[in-house]
Amino acid sequence: MVKDIALFRMEQLFKIYPYSEDYFVSLGINDIDHRLTIEELAVSMQDEVLDDTGLNREQLVENFILFIEKMETLKKPPNNTVESITIIGGKDKSGNDENINLEFKVGEVISIVGPTGSGKSRLLADIECLAQRDTPTYRQILLNGEIPDINKRFFIENKLVAQLSQNMNFVMDLLVEEFIKLHAESRMINNIEKITEEIIICANDMAGEKFDRNTPLTQLSGGQSRALMIADTALLSLSPVVLIDEIENAGIDRKKAIELLVKKEKIVLISTHDPVLALVGDKRIVIKNGGINKVINLSKEEKKYIDILEAIDKKMTGIRNHLRNGGIIDDSIIDSIYRLMQ
């Protein structure tokens, strides 16, 4: 179909490739005879109009065809199949070897714990840039057991890793609906209305306070922003790996967020101080002095305590909401916490 572009009239091309009109808009060409082919259009254009574009007639046609071919290539699913990530250890801040070779597979959740400033975010950054002994830690990251192609490290259109940082406040002057649709259009997604609705419903299922499609991005709270981006990443992003930094402070349903990402076959790594999230992971990486100090596999004994910790966490969330709504703390509330801990 792409090779036959020159045979179609502009009105047909605009229907087949709705984005093709953007090519002319970017060149400042607004007066287009839809009855002409691209070659006939180029011949009919006035010299002064072409001069303003900086192109001659042949270049106008050639660049248009290349534009369509490039956009059609972006619509195809990228070769982003990642079954595993391997971290080959580097050095800690004192220069000591990490002596680590860790492999994570699709569907796994890995928590990263350690004191503030210990190097948790640095580990996430190493994974995000697919480090090859070229960062301060000298770590190396493998994809499917192999050194990633340099194009995978620096390919902007379809990044292998999506990172959700601690600060998720928007500065874009867009509505929630406009933001999602803009992302969907950039991904050449069909049924944009459907995916937009799914993302908003999913985000609201995680957010502490609901929002709608007409809410300005700049009016979203930190928790709402995080919920929106997690839903967007799970349902729209092609990145197979998701790095989350300090999700416990996001004001969202953390368990639902993790379950959603795992369901979408992501490899999920979470930097956290939260004991509940630390135990959600299949593995727990302990960071000290800038290096990987220990790797702990979640044991059956630890799993027994998850329900208890989640119950306590849920109770504390309820108390926070109680205070926010003008409530007071009394003996009955404190007693209920003691009962959970016994």
The least confident of 90-94, 209-213, 290-294 is: 209-213
Higher-confidence residue: 261 or 70? 261
Pairing mode, strands 283-288 and 140-143: unpaired
- Could you tell me where the DSSP H helices lie in 166-297? 176-186, 192-206, 222-235, 254-263, 275-280
With beta carbons less than 8 A apart as the criterion, state whether 169 and 221 touch.
no
Q: Residue 249's pLDDT band (boundaries 50, 70, 90)?
A: low
CATH class of 84-298: alpha beta
Query: What's the average model confidence in pLDDT over 311-330?
Result: 80
Contacts for 37 with CB less than 8 Å, ≥ 6 apart: 6, 7, 8, 9, 10
Say how far apart CA 80 and CA 74 lie, in whole Å.
13
Strand partners, 70: none
Nearest to 149 by CA among 79, 239, 89, 243: 79
Question: How far is 74 from 92, CA to CA, in rounded Å?
Answer: 40
Q: How confident is the model at residue 15 (pLDDT cuts 50, 70, 90)?
A: confident
Domain boundaries along the sequence of the chain: 2-75, 84-298, 304-341
